[in-house]
Structure 1
Amino acid sequence: MVLVLVFAWPFNLSSQVLTTCAAIGINIVFDIQKPGWHLSVLWIAYCYVAMSTHWFYVHDAQEPPILSPRIPIIGHLIGMICHKQDFYHRLGQRNPDLPIFTLPLGLGKMYIITSPALVQAAMRKKSLSLDPLTVAFAERMVGFGPNIMDLMHHPPTNGSESWLNAQHKPYDMLAPGAALNDMNARVLNSVADIINSIGPEFETKHFYLWLRKSFTLATTCALFGAHNPLTEDPQLNDSLWDYEGGQASLLMQPFPSLTAPKPIKGRAAIQKALRAFFRAGHDQDSDVSMVIKDRVAINRKWGLPIDDIADHELGMLFVSITNAIPTLFWMIFYVFHDSQLVADLQNELLGCLEESKDSNGQRECIFSVAKFSAECPLLVSTYQEVMRMTNRQLGTRTVVEDTYLSHSSVGDAAGTPTTYLLKKGTHIQMPSMITAYSQATWGEDVHNFDPRRFITTREKERLQNRAFNPFGGGKHLCPGRHFAYAEILGAVAALVLGFEIVTPEGDQVSIPPINNSLVEAVGKPLPDVQQNLLANIRRRPGWEGVKWRFVAGNGTTET
């Protein structure tokens, strides 16, 4: 999911929350090209007026050291405005010896963890939780009604399981096993349909938009079956991405219906379609994934009305595509930008390709996704390196009770760890722009794309694993990572082996600049690139008549 800091109605909020409200969406609210920007500036001003009613925060001697801004009070906020995600990267570069520090933001504060070892320790702490932020964004961003919000705000006090914790159970269906194999088979079936429709002559595509539309349908059909609402109404594909693109506007402004009409309209259209889907009973169709069916069953058990159940699935629809599709785009472009990498991947993929003929005598090429991890180390390493280069998670948590974290410095002869106090109510961030771009972990070429970076020794692999957290960690480890792996690697494998992707002029594609937004877990291309990027695609000579198929983890195929 996109890890963003989100906030309830502005009255009676703590200074820390108000400060973070001003800071985290800063790249959206100060974008003067967006409608309503002036109201957003007023919203920020309001936050500061509200914060002025609070006492300046007290810093305990055991808390992480303060990293004071050069400009008092507002310096770090200005850094976020000017540099967005690069702000965190600069902090990490300038303070390589600080494993954790306190960042003053206005009259509030936030802890920033930079040490990979300390990040791992923090992710294991139950007292450092994403749940308070999940509750906060549920109403403003996802648009949950009072029935769901009541369950979130009033968990049982007798020690029984809460509704929020019950929502984790269906994600067992996304762990390796029969249910995941079934979903993988369905999504790869749709991927095969996409690539099999490409002909032997060059077709010019608005590449990002084409990829986004095609794979949004593939993913959502794997989840919701043939009656997937996005299939019933093609316009809803754009509505979903209108909503995704404006999520920060829903969070950061006090009157989003006035200042963010596009995402509001997109969300309403998706909610209407989902309600029609559930009212018609399509959630019981045989081709609906088990993870959806289990989520629905839990919500029925908790007594939620059908429209609330439908609204709840907007979250699943959203998280299934918002990070995977940009990652797929970046992997395609990083690969096809390098002709030698394309050739090396082709040689590797030939080793795990199976060929046959269908009943009509047509040549079939079959990939087994389960073989990739063992037989295609370069493909897997390329995927990991793409995520390292493009992941922009902030790793946000809230301290729900006073917590101590200990850290031992490398080379500390005494071996005595330093213990830090994290105060209840404070936000924590563990930005990937720090850990994924640390020279201590990744070497001096950290800013270069190296597809073989993850083909390494065991000792180096352990070091990398600590600093490489594209799917989060601990209780909040992304449950859909195996599903995304199958979809992305399956698609890239077939495209690399059987297709050519070049510019309209016939040259190698270039890597477009990334939009270092503060509210996207995977950075996307800049907005104008998303809309206008053109690329040509066709089948490789000698592969014109191939029908592509995929094998899921259970050894069965879908055609």
Structure 2
Amino acid sequence: MPSAFALSIVAIAITFAPKAVTGNIPSLSTIYGMFVHKDDYYIRLGNETQLPIYTLKLPGLSLYVINSLHLIQRIDRHITTVDFAPLQAQMCKKAINSCLRSFPRTAAPGAMPGPGLNALGKVVVKTFTDTFDRMESQGGIAVDLFDWVNRETLCASTNALYGPHNPFRDPEVEKEWFDYASGLLTIFMGIFPNILARRGVEGRETMVSALMKYFQKGRHLEGSMFIQLGQKYNESFGFTLADRARVEVGQVAAAIFNTAPGAFWAVWQALADPVVFEDCRQEVTQLVRNDADGTSTIDLARIRAEFFRFHGTSIAFRLVQEDTLIDNQYLLQKGGAALMPNAVVYCDESARNESAKHPATAFRGFGGGHVLCPGRHFAISGKWSEPKKDLVVGKALPIPKSRLNVKFVSKPGRKWRTIHLAKDATDISSKDT
């Protein structure tokens, strides 16, 4: 007969274990839903179960899916037992956890409000100004909107980061980036990458070679403060030149991977919605008029947050390093994984009730808790039919499945004008803490 102690342990486990959602065929139903329905799978389960947290069983893994912002905030506090660093170590196997955990704090001043962020912003503005000038001189251009945004975002971001000797100005290196990005998930998961993502693997090696030359010649000393701080930090850990270049490929991915789809949906939403378009037009007009005194009525932080909320599909992922009790109710067992789909939180009407006071962490477009994108401050930069979305696992926002051809032309008698106000950089980021 079981002892009273054994029975009490079983009772505690039953009380604290998040409810398991198995589907018709345990494990197989979960695998099918995750790979076929992608991020929609978690929205469906959230609507069906109405549970703040539940467990999905995979072979050898308990996956804890958290739908409650309250519980997500509690998990954010357990920075050592429910941790992201092991995943970073897997992405860059030669780096140690302590290095990865402290890198964002070391390099972040280069992309935080102040001289570092302002310098990045000025280069981005200059890059887009040159692009608009070329468009005007050609009398306008016809492009696929996503392809155009994708390329221009890469160009502007890498120019800002790497400076006048930006290795991504080389058309071959630029091409290899897009090959690498298309196979990034397969490479990360290690699913026969040399076969299934051969072009991506080859692209990575081309970028590593280009970055090695960049660092070897000391070109980064003419780059951004962010790059200089990052390289100084990596050198302090004894990374070889090859190690530094491989780590940097990961940094490029972190800086660019979600920026292009985010910029695309922001542009698309502003152009496609007449109300949003008119609001933006009026506020930009006001911004131009007030350029002399450096003031603006435009609230870019709220606009950015709404684009991310409406289109965002990012999923925060943590590994459970030790048994962890969340909110004195739910036990996450060692060896499991915590998964926090933003789309479910963003669909919660209570999180958008204007009469309620909400914490800053209700917006998680750039991560949450101690896992925040160090470049989050830098990233804010007729009837239309919404293109179908490809919910790519690992991206914070979907990419369009269909082409969206547009033509950019300047209005008669008007000139392109781009403005960068240092004050705005500080104001915008002040709400993202």
Do Structure 1 and Structure 2 share a fold, with TM-score over 0.5? Answer: yes
How far apart are residue 194 of structure 1 and its match?
A: 1.8
- Name the structure where helix makes up a greater proportion of residues: 2
CA contact (8 A) 1:178 1:554 kept: no
Structure 1: distance between partners of 2:315 and 2:348: 15
Counterpart selection for 1:198 from 126, 135, 144: 135
Which residue of the other structure, out of 455, 460, 480, is the alignment partner of 2:356?
A: 460
Is residue 239 from structure 1 mapped to residue 179 from structure 2 by the alignment? no
Output aligned runs, 1:267-306, within 5 Å: 267-285=204-222, 288-306=223-241
- Residue type of the alignment partner of 1:117: H
Is residue 126 of structure 2 the alignment partner of residue 219 of structure 1? no
Q: CA deviation at 1:438?
A: 2.0
How far does residue 339 in structure 1 lie from its aligned partner after superposition? Answer: 2.6
* 2:375 aligned partner: 480
* Distance change >3 Å, CA 339–CA 164, structure 1 → 2: closer
More deviation in 260-269 or 382-391?
A: 382-391
Q: How does 1:14-413 map to 2 (within 5 A)?
A: 61-96=15-50, 98-126=51-79, 127-139=81-93, 149=94, 151-152=95-96, 162-168=98-104, 169-199=106-136, 201-231=139-169, 233-285=170-222, 288-354=223-289, 371=295, 375-377=297-299, 379-406=300-327
Q: Would the alpha carbon gap of residues 206 and 366 (structure 1) be closer, same or farther in structure 2, given more than 3 Å must change?
A: farther
Cα deviation digits, residues 508-549 of structure 1 (max 9, x gap): 4432111112222221112xx3xx431111112342x34434
Q: Deviations over 1:6-55 (max 9, x none)?
A: xxxxxxxxxxxxxxxxxxxxxxxxxxxxxxxxxxxxxxxxxxxxxxxxxx
* Kept after mapping to 1: 8 A contact 2:107/2:374: no
Q: Structure 1 CA distance, aligned partners of 2:319 and 2:201?
A: 27
Q: 1:461/1:267 Cα in 2 relative to 1: closer, same or farther (>3 Å)?
A: farther
Aligned to 1:422: 332
Q: What is the identity, as a one-letter code, of the residue corresponding to 1:535?
A: V
Residue by residue over 1:285-321, the C-alpha shift from the partner in whole angstroms, topping out at 9 and shown as x without a partner, is: 2xx1111111111122222222222222112222211
Aligned position for 1:470: 365
Cα deviation code 1:67-94 (max 9, x no counterpart): 2322233222222233111100001111
Aligned amino acid, residue 238 of structure 1: K
Equivalent position SS for 1:460: coil
Q: Which residue of 2 aligns with 1:3?
A: none
Helix, strand or coil for the counterpart of 1:199? helix
Name the CA shift for 1:312/1:65 in 2 (closer, same or farther; >3 Å): same
Compute the TM-score of the two structures, normalised by the length of structure 1.
Answer: 0.69
Change over 3 Å in CA distance of 1:511–1:283 after alignment to 2: same
Q: Is contact 1:189–1:549 with CA below 8 Å preserved after alignment?
A: no
- What is the one-letter code of the residue matched to 1:265? E
Q: Find the counterpart in structure 2 of residue 144 from structure 1.
A: none
Q: Does 1:518 align with 2:386?
A: no
Determine if contact 1:110/1:427 at 8 Å carries over to the other structure: yes
Counterparts in 2 of 1:283 and 1:102: CA distance versus 1, 3 Å: same
Q: Which amino acid aligns with 2:254?
A: V
SS of corresponding position for 2:379: helix
Q: Which amino acid aligns with 1:552?
A: A
> Which SS does the other structure have where 1:353 is aligned?
helix
Greater Cα offset, 508-517 or 320-329: 508-517
Question: Counterparts of 1:348 and 1:550 in 2: how far apart (Å)?
Answer: 15
Tell me if 1:431 matches 2:326.
no
> How many Å separate the matches in 1 of 2:233 and 2:284?
42
Name the CA shift for 1:536/1:430 in 2 (closer, same or farther; >3 Å). Answer: same
Q: Specify the SS of the correspondent of 2:18.
A: coil
Tell me, yes or no, if the aligned pair for 1:399 and 1:426 is still in contact at 8 Å. yes
- Per-residue displacement from partner, 1:335-381 (whole Å, max 9, x unpaired)? 111233322221222222148xxxxxxxxx8896xx55xx213x543
Secondary structure, aligned partner of 2:418:
strand
Q: Which segments of 5 or more consecutive residues in structure 2 lack a partner in the other structure?
A: 1-11, 426-433
Contact 2:309 2:365 in 1 (8 A): yes
Matched pairs, number = 411
Q: Is the 8 A contact 1:182 1:552 kept in 2?
A: no
1:197 partner letter: R
Letter in 1 for 2:250: G
Structure 1 residue 461: deviation in Å? 5.1
State the AA in 2 paired with 1:230: F
Q: What is the CA distance between 1:66 and its match in structure 2?
A: 1.7
Against the structure 1 CA distance between its residues 88 and 546, is the aligned structure 2 distance closer, same or farther, given a 3 Å change threshold? closer
Q: Distance in 1 between matches of 2:304 and 2:235?
A: 39
Could you tell me which amino acid in structure 2 is paired with residue 376 of structure 1?
Answer: I
Contact 1:367 1:549 in 2 (8 A): no
Whether the 8 Å contact between 2:92 and 2:247 is mirrored in structure 1 is: no
CA separation of 1:309/1:466 partners in 2, compared to 1, >3 Å: closer, same or farther? closer
Determine the C-alpha separation between the residues in 1 that align with 2:357 and 2:148: 36
Query: What per-residue deviation string (whole Å, max 9, x for no partner) do you get for residues 110-166 of structure 1?
Result: 111111111111112112110111111224xxxxxxxxx1x52xx6xxxxxx32334
Counterpart residue identity of residue 460, structure 1: A
Q: What is aligned with 1:551? A: 421
In 2, the alpha carbon distance for the partners of 1:367 and 1:306 equals: 46
| One-letter amino acid matched to 1:113 | I
Unpaired runs of 5+ residues, structure 1, are 1-57, 140-148, 156-161, 356-364, 407-417, 444-456, 489-506
SS of residue matched to 1:550: coil
Normalised by the length of structure 2, the TM-score is 0.88
Q: Which amino acid aligns with 2:78?
A: K
